[in-house]
Amino acid sequence: MKKKVFLIFGTRPEAIKMYPVYKALKEFKEIETKVIITSQHQEMLRQVIELFNINVDYDLKVMEEKQTLTKITNKVLTGLKDIFDSDHPDILLVHGDTTTTFASALAAFYEKIPVGHVESGLRTYNKYSPFPEEMNRKLTDALTDLYFAPTEKAKENLLREGVNESSIYVTGNTVVDALMEIIQKNIKIDLPVNSNEKYIVVTAHRRENWGKPMEEICNAIKSIAEEFGNEFKIVFSVHKNPIVRETVKRILSDTQNIILVEPMDYLSFVKLLSRADLILTDSGGIQEEAPTLRKPVLLMRDTTERPEAIESGVVRLVGTNKERIISEVEKILKNKEEYEKMISNKNPFGDGKAGIRIAKIVFDYLLNGGNDGIS
């Protein structure tokens, strides 16, 4: 009888990063691989599922207007209980730090189903930054059986927290796998800028940046557009969250040289990033994508769970203060040597083979009960 591996995710970033694992697991005829989505995101999640041709077996459909973290958690727990009662996996693979991730790990624990955590061990050690992601990671890791740490630093975090070293595997980050596959797709994409234009890409959406920090970010972007408007256009991908949209549109909608765009499908967004001259963001995933694309990033947050990106030089932590953001942009765009320094180092997040490594480890765990021969 085949061993059952279930993968679960609910947001676009999770789907992107779980795809390489899904693809690799499909190569093992001894394993039956199934996918559960929670639809914590809907439209953006569907775009990735279609792009990568992922077959979805179950959809919990938790998304609703003005959803709360409590409601998402409750719906995931209840929905997974129903699935597990009729279709019991041998292991559940979760990813990263979303509410879907934590609630799914908890649901599996209640049914004594082993959990594999892809992208485990990331930490800021600040309970509320990022919120709720930091605690989602820690709580998920407390329930995990197989830890797939993307870097040595992530492994060190887990060891400090008392995780048995034999359960931790340093695999690289699966986003590198997905990004390499996307870059190779020779598909013509219409972008909101012309091929001969220089531009800056901006994204901002994190909960801890709602309110005053988001206003500071937007006012900084406005000033940057006024200062560098003759040389650079600014493309701001505006998140679907109404709190974010209200602030961004109120401050930036009438500013010359700023193009406000709806969230793009992943293929288009990667193409946009790959041609950008500079990226300003509060995203987690872009910190991992930028080194692969060799693009400098100013991270508009006070903390990061990916210190490797900072140490590599490709990412700089600049916070959300208006004057600090403007100053750092000026430093990079007015100094070629400073710019080149940010994109010259090696990618700290892997070689594009993380999905294959994880699939081999899961196979060996289920079929052989160990880790012999895994490399």
Query: Which strand (E) or helix (H) includes residue 365?
Result: helix 354-367
Percent of the chain surpassing pLDDT 70: 98
Three-class SS state of 41: coil
Q: Are 144 and 138 in contact (CB under 8 A)?
A: no
Residue 5 main-chain phi, psi, to 5 deg: -115, 120
pLDDT above 70 for 153 = yes
Active site residues: 97, 119, 133, 205, 207, 239
Q: Is the per-residue pLDDT at 116 higher than 90?
A: yes
- Are the C-beta atoms of 137 and 312 separated by less than 8 Å? no
Average confidence (pLDDT) over 13-33: 97
pLDDT of 370: 54
Listed range (135-139, 208-212, 339-343) with the worst mean pLDDT: 339-343
What Rg value do the Cα atoms of the chain yield, rounded? 20
Q: What b/e sequence results for 254-271 when a residue is b if at least 16 CB atoms lie within 10 Å of its CB, and e otherwise?
A: ebebbbbbebbbbbbbbb
SS3 helix, strand, coil % of the chain, rounded to 5?
45, 15, 40
Mean pLDDT estimate for the chain: 93
pLDDT, greater one: 149 or 374? 149
Sketch out the chain's domains with CATH numbers. Answer: 3-173+351-367 (3.40.50.2000), 199-342 (3.40.50.2000)
In the structure encoding, which two tokens stand for residue 68, read together? 């709360």
Largest Cα–Cα distance in the chain? 65
pLDDT single digits (tens) 56-70: 999 999 988 778 999
- 220-269 pLDDT per residue, tens: 999 999 999 899 999 999 998 899 999 999 999 989 899 999 998 899 99
- Whole-angstrom CA distances from 319 to 131, 226, 255, 286 are 15, 21, 23, 16
Q: What is the pTM of this model?
A: 0.88
The CB-side HSE value for 238 (13 A sphere, CA atoms) comes to 18
Q: Which residues have a Cβ under 8 Å from the Cβ of 268 and sit 6 or more positions away?
A: 189, 190, 191
Sign of CA dihedral 252, 256, 262, 264: negative
Average pLDDT for 292-320: 93
pLDDT band at 285 (very low <50, low <70, confident <90, very high): confident
Q: What is the pLDDT of residue 372?
A: 42
Phi, then psi, of 277 in degrees rounded to 5 = -95, -25
